């Protein structure tokens, strides 16, 4: 069976249970407040934000939010990622814990400044 292809972030967000929609909406609002000039789109079938290249992607899963700030976004904040499962380009924020919006804000701000300097 073919996986559904989302055409917009609104459509993506509406695909989840209400409590996950709330988190997706909060992350989306946070990114748009920090980077209003960023283009919001669907890329790799998840929300993506682009300004002079990719800023961040994120996705909702059954048990976590996947946050993808590129390798530089991970490397710069490595010391703050201790409580989360993370790899070279991704971080997992468990849905059964408080989402670290302050950390997301710092990462998006860093990535925006990084891309602005390109």
pLDDT at 113 over 90: yes
Q: What is the pLDDT of residue 1?
A: 44
Where in the chain are the domains?
Answer: 9-109
> What is the torsion angle, in degrees rounded to the nearest 10, for the CA atoms of residue 31, residue 4, residue 8 and residue 52?
60
CA distance 37 to 30: 13
Token readout for 36 is 């209003």
Q: What is the DSSP letter of 35?
A: -
Alpha helix (H) ranges present in 4-100?
9-14, 18-34, 70-76
User: With contact defined as beta carbons under 8 Å apart, do 76 and 110 qualify?
Assistant: yes
pTM: 0.94
Architecture of domain 9-109: Alpha-Beta Complex (3.90)
């Amino acid at each position: 069976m073919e996986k559904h292809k989302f055409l917009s972030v609104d459509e993506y967000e509406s695909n989840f249970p209400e409590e996950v929609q709330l988190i997706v909406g909060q992350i989306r609002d946070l990114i748009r407040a920090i980077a209003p000039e960023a283009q919001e789109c669907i890329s790799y079938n998840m929300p993506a934000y682009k300004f002079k290249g990719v800023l961040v992607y994120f996705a909702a899963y059954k048990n976590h939010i996947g946050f993808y700030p590129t390798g530089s976004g991970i490397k710069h904040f490595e010391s703050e990622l201790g409580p989360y499962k993370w790899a070279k380009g991704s971080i997992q924020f468990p849905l059964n814990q408080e989402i670290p919006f302050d950390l997301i804000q710092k990462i998006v701000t860093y990535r925006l400044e990084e891309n602005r300097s390109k």
